[in-house]
Amino acid sequence: MEGIIGYGASIPRNRIKVEEIAKVWGADAPSYKKGLLVEEKSVPSPDQDTITMSVEASKSALKRAGINPKEIGAVYIGSESHPYAVKPSGTVLAEAIGATPEVHTADLEFACKAGTEGMFIAWGLVKAGLIKYGLAVGADTSQGAPGDALEYTAAAGAAAYLFGREKVVAEVLETYSYTTDTPDFWRREYQYYPQHGGRFTGDPAYFKHIIGAAKGIMGKSGLKPTDFQYVIFHQPNGKFPLRVGEILGFAKKQIEPGWLVNKLGNTYSGSSPLGLTATLDISKPGDLVLIVSYGSGAGSDAFILKVTDRINEVRELAPKTRELLNKNRIYLEYGTYAKFRHKIRKAE
């Protein structure tokens, strides 16, 4: 059966703590930390962007899959921070991993859901028999306006998945998507920072779509929360995924392995895909895993995965996600962070 044959993660080494941001804006750090359940977030170096992190995550996915990159038939990057407005990110990735020129490539965009969108399409093409292998990446170097609540969580990271029919690490048993037109978060053309609907991003947006997708896929497959070893929800902050899990009837121990947000922040298109890499890192053969993404605008993609025996062979072939998260951290002061994120206006 078709499924994930390799996976990989990329997380920048730089971090900034909530206290460091709160200090600049005169905000109360403890209440932000308590409200968001976030302690620190990742920050890309000035020479890192969605493309560079996508390449690094994909190289790890290739190491785990052990396939010839020339046989990859499709390369998709889902992101809301593609470095170019016009010129694809995917071509750089396809070239960097050696998949060109016989490859279909597209950049996807759907707020935080773009990563699982690519996974859905790549898996679909493999299942249809149109391509042998498909690569899908969710990556972002997300921006929050200075002083906005989003600044405490907008982080950077990437997760890459290779799909195929042989050497499968996690079979895709079921998929389901739940989409409506809901303006909870947006960024217009030429605008640098996104805007959001405050509390409107909660119940009618995040919760409605994730619950809709999770109930939909469980109904379709006949499975219930206790059938799953692990579950990953989109992580815009620490609280939302824990609360939606509770509402749906999942226990904290099912959520925690993929719950990276307290130390990572919200990596947007990389968020739930990165949670899945961390979960696969500790999964055992036979485990059932549910992943439900969320993208503002709004929609959720859900996948039910069954981990295979091969997980034990590939796990150690590339860096594990928790290692990337916990090792080699470089803590930044706000000034350096503002410089790295191009928040300082310079002379032309």
115, 139 in Cβ contact below 8 A? yes
Segment 48 to 67, residues that bind another protein, using CB under 8 A: 48-49, 51-52, 55-56, 59
Segment near another protein (CB under 8 A); pick from 46-54, 152-160, 239-247, 286-294: 46-54
The helix (H) or strand (E) run that includes residue 194 is none
Segment near another protein (CB under 8 A); pick from 44-52, 105-113, 146-154, 164-172: 44-52
Question: Parallel, antiparallel, or unpaired: how do β-strands 170-182 and 3-10 relate?
Answer: antiparallel
User: In the set 47, 101, 188, 189, which binds another protein (CB under 8 A)?
Assistant: 47
242, 259 in Cβ contact below 8 A? yes
* Whole-angstrom distance, CA of residue 63 vs CA of residue 318: 7
- Least spacing, CB of residue 108 vs another protein, in Å: 20
If one asks whether residue 46 binds another protein (CB under 8 A), the answer comes out as yes
* Whole-angstrom distance, CA of residue 198 vs CA of residue 89: 31
Residue of 306, 301, 281, 280 lying closest to 291 (CA atoms):
301
Instruction: Please work out the total of residues on this chain that contact another protein, with binding judged by CB under 8 A.
Output: 21
Active site residue 80: yes
Catalytic residue of the set 39, 56, 80, 117: 80
Catalytic residue of the set 2, 39, 82, 112: 112
93, 51 in Cβ contact below 8 A? yes
Residue of 92, 68, 100, 165 lying closest to 126 (CA atoms):
165
Active site residue 102: no
- Least spacing, CB of residue 346 vs another protein, in Å: 9
Active site residue 56: no
Q: 3-state SS of the chain: helix, strand, coil percent to 5?
A: 40, 25, 35
If one asks whether residue 11 binds another protein (CB under 8 A), the answer comes out as no
Segment near another protein (CB under 8 A); pick from 45-53, 176-184, 185-193, 202-210: 45-53
Q: What six digits make up the tokens of 92?
A: 């750089």
Cβ-based nearer residue to another protein, 36 or 61: 61
Polymer length of the chain: 348
If one asks whether residue 330 binds another protein (CB under 8 A), the answer comes out as yes
- Least spacing, CB of residue 56 vs another protein, in Å: 6
CA atoms 176, 180, 182, 186: torsion sign: positive
Cβ-based nearer residue to another protein, 255 or 318: 318
User: In the set 26, 222, 253, 328, which binds another protein (CB under 8 A)?
Assistant: 328
* Whole-angstrom distance, CA of residue 54 vs CA of residue 60: 10
Query: Which residues, 6+ apart, have CB-to-CB distance to 325 below 8 Å?
Result: 11, 260, 263, 264, 278
* Whole-angstrom distance, CA of residue 206 vs CA of residue 210: 6
Segment 81 to 100, residues that bind another protein, using CB under 8 A: 83-84, 92, 95-98
- Least spacing, CB of residue 1 vs another protein, in Å: 32
3-state SS, residue 74: strand
User: In the set 19, 45, 124, 174, which binds another protein (CB under 8 A)?
Assistant: 45
If one asks whether residue 323 binds another protein (CB under 8 A), the answer comes out as no
The helix (H) or strand (E) run that includes residue 172 is strand 170-182
If one asks whether residue 293 binds another protein (CB under 8 A), the answer comes out as no
Cβ-based nearer residue to another protein, 45 or 262: 45
Active site residues: 80, 112, 234
Residues near another protein, by CB under 8 A: 13-14, 45-49, 51-52, 55-56, 59, 83-84, 92, 95-98, 328, 330
